[in-house]
Amino acid sequence: MSPRPHTVTRGLTAAAAITLLTGAGIAVAAQQASAAAGCRVAYSVNQWSTGFTGNVSVTNLGDPITNGWRLTWSFAGNQRITQGWSATITQSGQAVTAVNPSWATGLATNATATFGFNADYSGTNAAPASFSLNGTVCTGTTPTTPPTTTPTTPPTTPPTTPPTTPPTTPPTSQPPGNKVDNPYAGARGYVNPEWKAKADAEPGGSRVSSNPTAVWLDRIAAIEGTTGSSSNGSMGLEDHLDAALAQGAGYIQFVIYNLPGRDCSALASNGELGVNDLPRYKAEYIDPIAAIQSRAKYAGLRIINVIEIDSLPNLITNTNVATCATMKSNGGYVQGVGYALNKLGAIGNVYNYIDAAHHGWIGWDTNFGPTADIMLQAAQASGSVRNVNGFITNTANYSALTEPYFTINTSVGGTSVRQSKWVDWNQYVDELSFAQAFRTKLVSVGFDSGIGMLIDTSRNGWGGSSRPTAASTSTAVDTFVNQSRIDRRIHAGNWCNQDGAGLGERPRSAPASGIDAYVWVKPPGESDGSSTLIPNNEGKGFDRMCDPTYTGNERNGNSPTGSLSGAPISGAWFSAQFRQLMANAYPPLS
């Protein structure tokens, strides 16, 4: 990640569930729709006093539908849909039409499409009496004679993206579903078999290879899965979810990471989408992810999404970089994150954690409050702050969890450690105190008091022979801090494949007040970026901050980068780094 300048209770609503099995149709978005010979619909709701979330699954029992589907029904009461996902939903009076999204126009025989919506109501909330798929009433069976009525003609020009405007009056209750206070508590994490195989192939790697790590969905192709990819892996989103079910895992972690103009201040983790590609981000990236994560077979699995690493904080500190200035002016980051939160937060078993940088980036007063404010803007753009379950700090970074030998209040010879070159007037010297303080700030600006924090401890252990064992006895503040600190980086702004780093705390839930979990979101052994230019087809550039010969810039105090040599592109396996992380692990490996 790029260099940077200067026990909680979540409220749960009572959920009422209604399930109706009937015939269901899904809508077409083409000039001539395929008729459905038979269909079945499962309709369920989770409701509160003034609103509800509807979940609809339609199964095609007839011949394959190849050029679009349309599902229609009528409400019996005053239900009013305010927001939908994984289909384009329109309503006229009591009549409702749901049309397939642009990325899923077909529906094979016995295939099922799932979508959902939020709605308001008063009085009773009766389920619709019937559904029709492409003009055929869904009875749950295949009729022996074809329907005599002509299917209603669908729109001649289907929308390319679902509605982008969230409801103006979002539900005031927790997003529906059986969401728990802390999704990590009492649950076993998913172990990515692709990462595990690489770790097991390293000497001693089996000591850590059974730890849960996150799966990075860092481009559109990663949703379906890739073949012969140079980084990350070949398994797709559905593959990982199915593997999690097979493992009996309680939770699985994904990194949602493909904003237009991604990581605007660092070349190593740039992405495939340009600064004006927000429609593609919505329709080709977020919508398919939401469609897969919302499938009924995954309803018992806690799906944890880490939302867009390094995005929103860049709008506070790095607008001197042209791409960052563009993303601030065009609203792409705020609207993109808002859209992701909106679509994913509506799924009852999905938990969203927004990336909140780290103390060495936004720990200064000038950055701390404004970053919390822009987080709130993105959450409000989603329709409800309750689409956010928490925040994560130190993702793919190296900031020490705690500094055992000094705090921000330590003075040396009457001089505060804040005046040292290393601390540089920051308000924090470690991630734990920063994460706890930032949580308090986020609640104060309008987030739910039940939010929890995550800290990525995958590479911030800083063990090994160079780890200090006691506070320095020096009376010079710079010498004292440099000899006492366990974070052995040359500068706190250094972030790429840091030499001397070690594995940190192993993943575990509820380790400290306000902290939902220590996590390994950055899988140890996956590179931050290449040491030299390596052409690739993943949109990942060469960043000099990954070059061990580079002498730095203003964002790292014109210091050497401290990066390891021989590194591949970001996300690719870096054996030398993995071995060093194990050697320098703290707590040490047995």
Q: Is 462 exposed, middle or buried (0-12, 13-18, 19+ CB in 10 A)?
A: buried
* Contact yes or no for 434/407 (Cβ under 8 A): no
Name the amino acid, one letter, at 515: I
Cα radius of gyration rounded to whole Å, the chain: 25
Of 263, 448, 456, 487, catalytic: 263
Identified catalytic residue from 277, 310, 355, 543:
310
Q: Which residue among 277, 355, 487, 528 is the active-site one?
A: 528
> How many Cα neighbours within 13 Å face the side chain of 229?
23
Query: Is 310 one of the catalytic residues?
Result: yes
Q: At what angle do helices 322-330 and 332-345 cross, to 10 degrees?
A: 60
In angstroms, the CA 105 to CA 543 distance is: 40
List phi, psi (to 5°) of 418.
-60, -25
What tokens appear for 260 in the block? 């237009």
Q: Are strands 39-47 and 70-74 parallel, antiparallel or unpaired?
A: unpaired
CA distance 60 to 372: 46
What is the three-class DSSP state of 217?
A: strand
Whether 263 is catalytic is: yes
Per the structure block, which two tokens stand in for 66?
């190849």
Task: For residues 444 and 448, give the distance between their C-alpha atoms in angstroms, rounded to a whole number.
Answer: 9
- Please tell me the distance from the alpha carbon of residue 89 to that of residue 265, in angstroms, as a whole number: 38
Q: Which residues are known binding-site members for substrate?
A: 216, 218, 358, 361, 397, 495, 522, 526
- Could you check whether the bond before residue 143 is cis, i.e. omega within 30 degrees of 0? no
Pairing of strands 131-133, 70-74: antiparallel
For residues 306 and 355, is the Cβ–Cβ distance under 8 A? yes
The CA-based dihedral angle spanning residues 415, 421, 422, 425, taken in that order and rounded to the nearest 10 degrees: 60
CA 142 to each of CA 137, 151, 196, 229, 534: distance values in angstroms, whole numbers, following the listed order: 10, 17, 46, 43, 56
Backbone angles phi and psi of 325, in degrees to 5 = -60, -40
Query: Any idea of the CA torsion for 88, 90, 95, 99, to the nearest 10 degrees?
Result: -20
Strand, coil or helix: 278: helix
Q: Are 368 and 356 in contact (CB under 8 A)?
A: no
With CA atoms as reference, report the closest residue to 59 among 87, 35, 40: 40
User: So which residues are the catalytic ones?
Assistant: 263, 310, 528
